[in-house]
Amino acid sequence: MSAIVAKDRYLKHLATVPMFAHCTKKELTEIASLATPLYLEPGDTFIKEGAAAHEMMIIVEGSATVRKKGRKVATLGAGDVVGELAVLAHRERNASVTSDSKMEILVIDQRSMDALLDDVKGLAKKLLKVVVARLDDGRL
């Protein structure tokens, strides 16, 4: 896939992610420029409970299972964001996440996420809504 096609694809995908849905094309372009694609195989644990957090991920394709203390708490798929809470709070991961299928994810490191929150108007508020929704459905 060419870099231009990938960029357009990621821009379209980011626009469908609830956390980024309000962003302008310019802001989405900034977010996409900070993200690194990563490809996973079924069974890959890409977030480990108790580990230090250095990045958040946005699922582009595939699905994953979230487990807290070994108990399944959620299944995630395309458009879901994972790992952002520990990055924002600068704390350890509160759950493990394992791929159920082949996956494509976008990874945004902690420094870039901090910059996005400063630069992208309304992103912090959107992120807060995501956190509240997770609290409501028991995933946190």
* Strand, helix or coil for residue 88: helix
Domains in the chain, please, with CATH? 3-136 (2.60.120.10)
pLDDT of residue 138: 61
Average pLDDT over residues 124-130: 77
Tell me how far apart the alpha carbons of residues 88 and 103 are, in angstroms, rounded to a whole number: 24
Tell me how far apart the alpha carbons of residues 20 and 11 are, in angstroms, rounded to a whole number: 10
Average pLDDT over residues 57-85: 94
Q: For 79, left (φ over 0), alpha (ψ -120 to 50), or beta?
A: left
Residue-wise pLDDT for 36-51, tens only, equals: 999 999 999 999 999 9
Average pLDDT over residues 108-127: 84
Give the residue, 137 or 102, on which the prediction is more confident: 102
- DSSP codes of every residue in 102-133: -EEEEEEEHHHHHHHHHHSTTHHHHHHHHHHH
43-81: burial string, b at 16+ Cβ within 10 Å, e else:
eeebbebeeebebbbbbbebbbbbbeeeeebbebebbbb
pLDDT of residue 85: 82
The count of other CB atoms within 10 Å of the CB of residue 117 is 12
pLDDT of residue 5: 46
Residue whose entry in the numeric block shows the structure tokens 């699905």: 63
Average pLDDT over residues 93-115: 94
Dihedral angle of Cα 65, 90, 34, 41, to the nearest 10 degrees: -20
